[in-house]
Structure 1
Amino acid sequence: MKLVATLLMSGVLAFSGCTLPQMVKKSKEQKLTTTPDPLEVHADKVDFEMTGILPVKMMKKGTTYTGKVEYVYAGKRADVGTLEFKGDDYPNYKKEEPKKTQTFSFPYAEGMDQRGNLVMTGTAANKKGKTKPTPEFPFTRGLITTSRLTKDIYLVSYAPHGYNNQPEFEPVSVNFYFLQGSPALRPSETGSKRGKFLDAFIAEKNVTKTVTVVGTHSPEGSDAKNTKLSGQRAETVESHYKAQMKRFDYKTKADSIEFVTKATIQDWGMFKDTLNADKELTEEQKGQAVAIADGSDSFFDKAAQLAKLPFYRRIVTNVYPKLRNAQTEILKLKDKKPDPEIAVLGKQIAEGKESADKLNDQELLYAANLTPLLEEKKAIYEASMKKSDSWQAHNNFGAVHLDYAKKEMDKTKMTALVDAAITHFQMANNKMESGEAYANLAVAYTMKGMSKEAEEALTKASGMNSNQDVARAVKATQGVMQIKKGQYTEAINSLGAAGQDAMVLYNKGLAQVLAKQNDAAMATLNESVTADASAANAWSYYVMAIAAARSKNESALTANLQKAVTLDSTLKAKALQDLEFDAYANGEGFKNAVK
């Protein structure tokens, strides 16, 4: 009996010992697949679903098979995870293939834009804990990195200067007063300061659009009874104005001036306004008079009730004379400095050669708009900060620094410029929060790679009631961020509201490719090419080639790729590595495009 037991035990040990080599040998028949294939990077990580199928009879009770999954690229390895099979989970291992599906994710790292492979190294183990490794099995290739082809959009927002250089008309007002019941313009009125002011104004021959004269009357005696009196007073002033024009030899200039006369009759509005402005009447007295004026009685009944008030004499003295007038409003062309004068003065103020008082705040900010030179803009905005210390001046001073930073190739210098810009955007917001300053902060933080801060600034900017240019800048920055986060539909919507800038259209087209909207992407990228004929279009053509490849349109792929490498020869090497074109890599069209 002992002999039988010993033989049985020996058989079990022999069986256990030979299980591991058999598992390793069988592992060569395993099937490893992924979705997607090739692997793709989105939002700076690679997500995929992996399925492993082992051959029949590879697994047995008590055994495990653990596959260590890695991504191998450019001489480096990235740990991905493990896929583990337990023999006890597959009781029908003699007839059925053990199968397991699992999701994996690993972060994108620099260098992964070169071709690589997923590999799996298996470890077979028995229930006693003994192990034996398998060879390394390469399977899915990677990576498709199209999502990383975004181009940051640095749309800089300048605050409005507030100056209007177009012709504007401004009102000039002169009132003439009349005796009760009379439409005659007295010498005491024409010789008053008001009369002399009007004479001087007419003598200067100011460019005038309209002269509107409104005649009024008081609610007393003959002034109230003559319903034609208000109109007559207006006509009297009109005649006086025209006589002065003739005196000062206007000739044909008078023909361009439109005269309008109006009559205000039995209206209590002016009475109440004049009454409330009086300094001698008490609030109680004013209230009594207003109550009568607001009553439902007739105009003359109200006038009679006012005459019975104990303080009526003050109304007659302080209020009624001011109602017997002709209000004259003249719309004259506003005096403005011509643009060349503003430009010269702005530069001189910036250089310290002229007093800052030579231009008002709006004119000085506008002067910066009149020069294309960033250095001159910077100096003028600096002068504006010293003059007004306004949020607009600080924002625009920072904006100039951003425009400099966009052109700076030296990273240290670029960072210094961006840091200076951030300081002034923050100062601008401390004075008054604005969409311009927050939109610029988002751009500045993006340039520094500070995505969290950039998003916070964008959120602030989005909540501001900004002009269209600022709103577009916000949407442009937002759209690129959304592509980087893998939010392609959202990015398409944002960039669709960001205007027609070539770089905006490029990123929108890229987002459409990533959202599998290839036809729409081709149309958008063609618009990008039309919007800017510079060498930057190489990338538009390159992404069009990708869209064509995804649509299985080989001729469009070849044509666009050829245009891309013609504009930028460095794209040849990229195309040769790009798995987007793998299905066409051996074709003559592709070879000719990248040769």
Structure 2
Amino acid sequence: MKKQSIKVIALLAVASMTATSCDLLKDLDYTVTPDPLEMHGDSVAVKVDITFPEKGIKKKAYADITPMLGNTALKSIRVQGEKATGNGEVIQYKPGGKITYTDVVAYAPDMEATDLMVTGKVFKGSKEKATIEPIKIADATIITPYLVNKDFKVIIANDQFKRVTPETMLAQINFDKGKSIVKPGEMKDQDIKDLEAFLANAQTNPKIDVKGLNLTGFASPEGEEDKNNTLSTDRSNTGKEASMKVAKAAKHEGAQGDIYSLKGSGEDFEGFKRELQADKEMNEDDKNLVLRVLETIKDPAEREKAMRDMGKTFTYLDKTIFPKLRRTEIVVNYDKTGFSDEEMKMYSVSKPDTMNLEELLFCAALYTDLNEKLRVYKIAEERYPDDYRTSNNVGAVLYMMNKVSEAKAKFEKSNAAKDNPIAKNNL
């Protein structure tokens, strides 16, 4: 295997991007296994470990990275900073992180004389900010396994197990109209009790590592805009004070320190539209009228006047919808460490139902004993028959045990669950 580095180059067509784009994503390391790539059967399997250094990706940036093998584009992977929105692999700003990319593609003749490259695009918000300059990360494909069938080896489908996963825990503090004082009753709500219990457990649980608390204050969309902006900020501040009291009661030392991120978001129009659409009492005509006012009148003062002119409709909003928006949202960001190797082996025997698919696939790979490996893969196949990897991997172990006809049946079952190049290779 070899390591390569990538540099992010700003889009030349937009000179104004140059000052900021280079900073969004930088100094990535790629480790490709195997290097050079190899063909087995009629396919090429690619595995790339991508390492992000500390501050390697900005918090609000995201990137679509696409490996290229000759003229063939492999599947893209999206990575994103800790505050970016989306469904990509989240990388913490500090201390960085590591992800593993895998794909299997059908062999094409041009892959023999080409290299594995990566390219892509970098975004911030909805705007493309930079391109990833194409760079070689592995040598061309060796086709010897295709030419010499006696060296053929079955392929085991990879797991997607992650030992440490980023998780969140949520709580909320509500406020009276125009106020930022935390009422005593709010501290008795179930979500605050759950927050205290979580922090108490996290203090003594080595598998829970609290990374930070994000507090966002909101105001309902009536009243003066400037006052609501100030009010939302005040609510985030008093929310922090309340959260630190909860942390103190839970005896969680870290959550009493400097790990808070505060933000005042002003008037919560998105939350208002969400609550309005979910409301079951107001008729659709009134809802549509309110939404039209929100979307067409941009001046805050005129918009509020139009809403107040709705009479009973505004009264209903003031009593039912607005109170839900006067709040501080508390988001606890933490890393959760999964089962150790030994725990997985133990639970695969005593409590296999406590293990998910990726844990079972990872656990099976820990064993060198083929009987144990087969036992765990069979558990995975029984519980997750619709995932093509389970039957394929049962078949792969059966093939290693020289049970060729049984293995063939499993490969066919795998390909029936989902048409896939791994099972086809093994057939």
Distance (Å, rounded) in 1 between the aligned partners of 2:298 and 2:209: 46
Match of 1:161 in 2: 159
Q: How far apart are the structure 2 equivalents of 1:193 and 1:387? A: 35
Unaligned runs of 5+ in 1: 1-147, 349-353, 406-416, 442-595
Report if the CA contact (8 A) 1:219-1:300 is conserved.
no
Task: Note closer, same or farther for the CA distance 1:251–1:322 as it changes in structure 2 (3 Å cut).
Answer: closer
For the pair 1:367 / 2:363, whether they are aligned, the reply is yes
- Higher Cα Rg: structure 1 or 2? 1
Q: Does 1:381 align with 2:377?
A: yes
Q: In the TM superposition, what whole-angstrom CA distance separates every residue of 1:437-459 from its partner, at most 9, and x where no partner exists? A: 12222xxxxxxxxxxxxxxxxxx
Task: Determine the structure 2 residue equivalent to 1:322.
Answer: 324
- CA offset at residue 151 of structure 1? 5.0
Q: Does 1:430 align with 2:419?
A: no
Per the TM alignment, residue 292 of structure 1 is displaced from its structure 2 partner at its CA by 0.8
Using CA pairs below 8 Å that are at least 6 residues apart, which structure has the higher relative contact order? 2
Are the equivalent residues in 2 in contact too, given 1:266–1:299 (CA < 8 A)?
no
Compared CA separation, residues 200 and 224, structure 1 to 2 (3 A): farther
Distance 2:291 2:189 in 1: 32
Shift of the 190–252 alpha-carbon distance from structure 1 to 2, 3 Å rule, reads closer
Partner residue, 1:357: 353
Measure how far apart 1:300 and its partner are: 2.3
The one of 198, 201, 221 equivalent to 1:201 is: 198
In the TM superposition, what are the counterparts of 1:264-279 in structure 2 within 5 Å? 264-279=265-280
Instruction: Determine if contact 1:223/1:229 at 8 Å carries over to the other structure.
Output: no
Indicate conservation of the 8 Å contact 2:247/2:255, yes or no: no
1:187 to 168, 184, 189: 184
Determine if contact 1:218/1:224 at 8 Å carries over to the other structure: no
- Using the alignment, how far apart are the partners of 1:240 and 1:203 within structure 2? 16
Which of residues 168, 172, 184 is equivalent to 1:171? 168
Contact residue 244 and residue 255 of structure 2 kept, 8 A:
no
Tell me how far apart the structure 2 counterparts of residues 199 and 295 of structure 1 sit (CA, whole Å): 43
The secondary structure found in structure 2 opposite 1:264 is strand
Q: TM-score scaled by structure 1?
A: 0.44
In 1, distance between residues paired with 2:284 and 2:353?
44
Contact 1:234 1:261 in 2 (8 A): yes
Structure having the higher strand fraction is: 2
SS in 1 for 2:215: strand
Percent sequence identity is 24
Report Cα offsets for 1:471-506 as digits up to 9, x if no partner: xxxxxxxxxxxxxxxxxxxxxxxxxxxxxxxxxxxx
Q: Deviation of residue 267 (structure 1)?
A: 4.7
Structure 1 pair 208–280 and aligned structure 2 pair: CA distance change class (3 A):
same
Aligned residue in 1 for 2:76 = none
Alpha-carbon distance between aligned partners in 2 of 1:266 and 1:193, rounded to the nearest angstrom: 26
Q: Secondary structure at the match of 1:195?
A: helix
Contact 1:224 1:266 (C-alpha < 8 Å) held by counterparts: no
Shift in alpha-carbon separation, 1:422–1:284, aligned structure 2, 3 A? farther
Q: Does 1:292 align with 2:289?
A: no
Q: Given the superposition, is the C-alpha separation of residues 233 and 290 from structure 1 closer, same or farther in structure 2, using an over 3 Å criterion?
A: same
Deviations 1:200-245 (A, max 9, x none): 1222225200100000001223787343110111111111222233
In the aligned structure 1, how far is the partner of 2:320 from the partner of 2:265?
A: 20
Aligned residue in 2 for 1:542: none
Please give the alpha-carbon distance, in whole angstroms, between the structure 2 residues aligned to 1:149 and 1:283: 68
* Structure 1 residue aligned with 2:42: none
CA distance in 1, matches of 2:253, 2:162: 31
* TM, length-normalised to structure 2: 0.60
Shift of 1:319: 1.3
Matches within 5 A, 1:239-278: 239-251=241-253, 254-255=256-257, 258-278=259-279
CA distance in 2, matches of 1:253, 1:174: 14
The one-character-per-residue Cα deviations of 1:38-67 (angstroms, maximum 9, x if unpaired) are xxxxxxxxxxxxxxxxxxxxxxxxxxxxxx
SS of the equivalent of 2:229 reads coil
* Unpaired stretches in structure 2, ≥5 consecutive residues: 1-145
Asked if structure 1 preserves the Cα contact closer than 8 Å seen for 2:199 and 2:252, the reply is no
Q: CA deviation at 1:154?
A: 1.6
User: Structure 1 residues 305 and 153, CA, compared in 2 at 3 Å: closer, same or farther?
Assistant: farther
**2: CA distance, partners of 1:291 / 1:386:** 53
Distance in 2, matches of 1:299 and 1:163, equals 49
Q: Tell me, what secondary structure is at the counterpart of 2:344? A: helix
Looking at structure 2, the residues matched to 270 and 149 of structure 1 have their Cα atoms a distance apart, in angstroms, of 61
Structure with more helix by fraction: 1
